[in-house]
Amino acid sequence: MQLNESLVKGRVAGTLLKFAAPVVFANLIQVIYFTTDIIILDLFATGEDVAAVTIGAQVLQLITLGVSGLVMSLIVLLGQLSGVKNEKGLSSAIGTAIPLFAVVTVVIMVGLLIANGPIIALMRTPAEAVEAASAYLRISTFGIVFIIGFNVLVGAFRGLGNSKLPLVFIAVSSVVNIALAYIFVRSFAMGAAGTATANVIANALGFVISLLYIKRKGLGFSLSRADMRFDRRLLSKILKVGAPISLQEILVASSFLLITAVISEMGGVAGTNAVGITERIIIVYMMPTIGMMSAVSAMSAHNIGAGELRRAEKCMWTGILMSLAVAVPAVAFSWFGGNIIVSIFSDDPNTIYNAVLYLRTYAFDVIGVALVFVFNGFFNSLNRSVFAMVHSVTVTLLIRVPLVLLLSRIPDITLLSMGLAAPAASFASVIMCLTYFYYLKRKNRLVHHINEAV
């Protein structure tokens, strides 16, 4: 695989879209197989299994998002090193990342095995879904090594400027996941445990295929066993950018776990399932923005490494406009036709009613995220992930969490009102991002310390 120089040349919109499209499609494919799990369980298992996967999947998402901070840092570092064509640095960066993620994987696996029961209890899991949720989480724990390994390899490809290969690997993995989930749930009546097993096997397949490709084609630069060690300077760079992102993602995801727990206590299995359905719809809406954030991070990092700051900034604004072009119609559809899409996931009237209410207001978060995520992607490429963490943590602790707790105490509150917590926090983050961006512009500090990264 050759290092990608196209990210620093040509029209920004066309180049960004070309790079982002495979990322978006890859993310959508992953969401489709997560969504398919729920549909398969709804058809061939019980409501308790659906609730178990809703809770277990959010716990896994919390872990994946935490690790994604370090993966994003690796993407940025590889992009900056690619921009200045520093092949020795690229070898050292990959060599440093391998033992780092190995340590992270072991720590997470041990933690989950020890805390399985307390986590299920902390999530206020409905009593009838506890056993299934525990089994789902326990099986998924043994597959963490493949889940994290696959995500790291996908991030490495994207950091080097290749977003197409991950799409192929993820597509193969997702097809296998859906097929196995159908077999395990319908034919073997494994319920939530069946979807967890299918997910582990599918991620293992994606991980192995990626490794085989690298072994055969290489990465575009030499990589030997001697490189497989901690380079203190590069490890510091990865942690300096990645740790704030990981902390930010963990705290934000934790706030959404709190929302699920509160609603589970309020509405039981039907409320939990309504949240699970809505979360899957919202994540579909957000996939273009999530893909655009990754693309802006990688493309901006390449341009910053090449000394093209104006082009990097243009990447950010272009990414925001493209994200809004999807977000605004999605919100309109959710308000006026939410029952159409919710009915795909469930035929229970109570679940549908609550999910439609929750979707109407929660969907406005998609617009806020369209701006915030792309801003964060740009700030990350500037090695300013600390600010991304600060504004996310601030709005989480001061707006999202307090608002959820306050609303939950109102008698006869509905999910229409509960759905306001997420967008309220995101729009506060938008104001903070705009303020910080123009502060950096006025002070001419956008590229401060960038040269240290490469």
pLDDT at 185: 94
Chain segment 153-162, per-residue pLDDT in tens: 988 888 888 8
In this model, does residue 261 exceed pLDDT 80? no
Q: Judge whether 206 lies within some domain.
A: yes
How much is the average pLDDT of 80-91?
80
Q: Judge whether 451 lies within some domain.
A: no
Chain segment 378-433, per-residue pLDDT in tens: 988 887 878 888 888 899 889 988 988 888 888 888 888 888 888 999 999 999 99
| 415 half-sphere exposure, CB direction, 13 A CA radius | 31
Range of the domain at 307: 8-446
Cα Rg of the chain, angstroms: 21
pLDDT at 4: 52
Q: Judge whether 454 lies within some domain.
A: no
Q: Are 259 and 418 in contact (CB under 8 A)?
A: yes
Chain segment 311-322, per-residue pLDDT in tens: 888 999 999 999
Q: Judge whether 452 lies within some domain.
A: no
In this model, does residue 267 exceed pLDDT 70? no
70: Cα separation from own chain's centroid:
12
Q: Is the pTM of this model over 0.75?
A: no
Residues above pLDDT 90, as percent of the chain:
29
pLDDT at 452: 46
CA distance linking residue 78 with residue 388, whole number of Å: 20
pLDDT at 82: 79
Q: Judge whether 219 lies within some domain.
A: yes
| 66 half-sphere exposure, CB direction, 13 A CA radius | 17
Q: Judge whether 138 lies within some domain.
A: yes
In this model, does residue 449 exceed pLDDT 50? no
Residues above pLDDT 70, as percent of the chain:
94
**pLDDT category of residue 263 using cuts at 50, 70 and 90:** confident
Token output for 41: 């369980």
Q: Judge whether 2 lies within some domain.
A: no
Average pLDDT, the chain: 85
Chain segment 419-446, per-residue pLDDT in tens: 888 899 999 999 999 999 988 887 666 6
How many domains is the chain built from?
Answer: 1
22: Cα separation from own chain's centroid:
15
pLDDT at 48: 86
Q: Judge whether 453 lies within some domain.
A: no
In this model, does residue 215 exceed pLDDT 90? no
pLDDT at 443: 66
Alpha helix segments (H runs only) across 143-231: 144-159, 164-182, 191-217
